[in-house]
């Protein structure tokens, strides 16, 4: 009576469970994809110059390949849509998706619900890099999109590399050591940042605005820089979704189920850090998205990473696009830093979910 002999009876007795759950979650992914597309179009219509929805559709449609359309709208409208609003919406989507996905990855990898993309020093490193960039003489700022994103990116990667090498014990990387090293180095860098801000004089406003995050200067060139990191990071992380599920057991059981735990940690840390660093370099260290979106997704669709990761990616993108619309319209023409809005909008929604589901969450 081996398993093999019994297999035929299975065909007659189909698995009565789980397909429905999976189907529901697949529909959720598809639904969010559609919603993402609709929201991109819709939010492009919102702004100081009201552009009719139909015009947005026409302009976007005319840019598709193989479509011949004669412009019936003023050129300035096309410029606003394609050069001002669309890159901003897309960049917000990329950054939101990156932060939420990285947050879900860190939470899964560390088996810790409090983990967020900034846990092991990315944010503090990026902040220090950016602040140094602000304080450099302005002659340095000439190149391309400026020295600040470059320094922020380098700062993020350098600080996580330091945390990583500090936490390494022999050939292994104990997760608790990594978190503690990240928190300690983060505190050190944050205090340096604080000191630099206080002594920065008239540049203080710009620095604080950057730290709280803003999409106000978004351009296609920035999208072009962030996108490759995103694509690589997202593909790598999604491929390891099943391994991340097995990691939820514990490292010993994961090894016994064939997961190369140390390699998994290295690959996922690198991928998640890279997309986080790329995201924050341009728009500042936006909080809240990376920790809350994965939890909200987990509450609604369950802890299975094969669904949790793509759903977090899409939900994070949608969330940050909508938040950015609020940030740029609610007190227009003044813009509110998006880092302020994420929590003001997101926290009540999250608390509502928390009250609705009275079950163990993690």
Partner 1 sequence: MIKIEMQNVCLGYGRKVVLNDMTFQVMPGEMVGLIGPNGCGKSTIIKALSRVISPHSGKIFLDGKDISRIPRRDLARLLGVVPQVPLLPSTFTAFEIVLMGRNPHLGLFQYEGPEELAITWQAMERTATQPLAERRVGELSGGEVQCIIIARALAQETKAILLDEPTANLDIGRQVEILDLIKGLCRESNLTVLAALHDLNLASQYCDRLVLINKGRIHAEGTPREVIITQNIKEVYGTDGCVYTHPINGLPTVLLRSGNGKPAQTGDGVEGGVG
Specify the stretch interacting with partner 1 by CB under 8 A; choose among 34-42, 87-95, 207-215, 256-264.
256-264
Instruction: Assess 161 for contact with partner 1 (CB under 8 A).
Output: no
Quick check: 15 binds partner 1 (CB under 8 A)?
yes
DSSP string, 122-173: HHHHHHHHHHHHHHS-GGGGGSTT-HHHHHHHHHHHHHHHHHHHHH-BTTB-
Q: Which structure tokens are listed for 301?
A: 């669709």
170 counts as binding partner 1 under rule CB under 8 A:
no
Q: Which of residues 330-359 bind partner 1 (CB under 8 A)?
A: 359
The two structure tokens encoding residue 328: 């740029």
Which of 55, 192, 306, 353: binder of partner 1 (CB under 8 A)? 306
- Look up tokens 């909200």; give the residue: 296
Point out which span in 45-53, 118-126, 153-161, 240-248 binds partner 1 (CB under 8 A): 240-248
150-166 burial code (b ≥16 CB/10 A, e <16): bbbbbbbbbbbebbbee
Window contacting partner 1 (CB under 8 A); options: 97-105, 215-223, 248-256, 322-330 = 248-256
Sorted by sequence, the CB contacts under 8 Å of residue 36 that are 6+ apart come out as: 93, 314, 317, 318
The minimum distance between CB 275 and partner 1, in angstroms, equals: 19
Task: Report which of 11, 10, 15, 84 is spatially closest to residue 47, judged by C-alpha positions.
Answer: 84
Question: Which among 74-82, 130-138, 215-223, 299-307 is the span making contact with partner 1, rule CB under 8 A?
Answer: 299-307
- The answer to whether the beta carbons of residues 285 and 98 sit under 8 Å apart is no
> d(Cα 291, Cα 312) in Å, to the nearest integer?
10
Q: Count interface residues toward partner 1 (CB under 8 A).
A: 37
Establish if 243 lies at the interface with partner 1 (CB under 8 A).
yes
Q: Which of residues 97-136 bind partner 1 (CB under 8 A)?
A: 111
Residue 176 within binding range of partner 1, rule CB under 8 A = no
Residue in 29, 35, 183, 249 binding partner 1, rule: CB under 8 A:
249
Residue 172's DSSP bridge partners are 169
Residues that bind partner 1 (CB under 8 A): 1-3, 6-7, 10, 15, 17-19, 111, 239-240, 242-243, 245-246, 248-250, 252-253, 255-260, 298, 302-304, 306, 359-362
């Amino acid at each position: 009576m081996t398993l093999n002999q019994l297999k035929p009876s299975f065909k007659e007795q189909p698995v009565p469970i789980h397909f429905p759950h999976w189907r529901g979650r697949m529909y959720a992914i598809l639904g969010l994809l559609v919603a993402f597309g609709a929201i991109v179009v819709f939010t492009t219509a919102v702004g100081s110059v009201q552009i009719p929805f139909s015009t947005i559709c026409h302009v976007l449609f005319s840019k598709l390949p193989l479509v011949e359309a004669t412009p019936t709208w003023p050129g300035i409208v096309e410029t606003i849509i394609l050069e001002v609003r669309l890159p901003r919406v897309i960049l917000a989507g990329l950054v939101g998706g990156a932060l939420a996905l990285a947050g879900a990855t860190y939470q899964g990898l560390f088996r810790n619900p409090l983990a967020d993309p900034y846990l092991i020093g990315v944010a503090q490193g990026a902040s220090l890099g950016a602040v140094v960039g602000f304080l450099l003489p302005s002659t340095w700022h000439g190149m391309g999109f400026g020295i600040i994103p470059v320094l922020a990116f380098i700062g993020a990667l350098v600080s996580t590399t330091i945390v990583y090498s500090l936490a390494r014990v022999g050939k292994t990387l104990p997760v608790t050591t990594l978190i503690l090293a990240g928190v300690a180095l983060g505190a050190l860098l944050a205090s340096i940042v604080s000191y630099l801000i206080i002594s920065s004089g008239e540049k203080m406003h710009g620095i604080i605005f950057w730290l709280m995050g803003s999409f106000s200067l978004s351009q296609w060139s920035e999208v072009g820089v962030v996108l490759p990191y995103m694509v690589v990071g997202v593909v790598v992380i999604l491929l390891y979704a099943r391994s991340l599920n097995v990691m939820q057991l514990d490292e010993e059981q994961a090894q016994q189920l064939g997961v190369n735990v140390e390699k998994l940690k290295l690959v996922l840390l690198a991928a998640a850090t890279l997309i986080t660093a790329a995201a924050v370099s341009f728009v500042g260290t936006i909080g809240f998205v990376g920790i809350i979106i994965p939890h909200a997704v987990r509450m609604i669709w369950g802890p299975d990473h094969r669904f949790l990761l793509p759903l977090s990616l899409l939900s994070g993108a949608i969330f940050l696009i909508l938040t950015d619309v609020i940030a740029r319209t609610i007190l227009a023409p003044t813009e509110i830093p998006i880092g302020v809005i994420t929590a003001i909008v997101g926290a009540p929604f999250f608390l509502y979910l928390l009250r609705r589901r009275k079950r163990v969450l993690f």
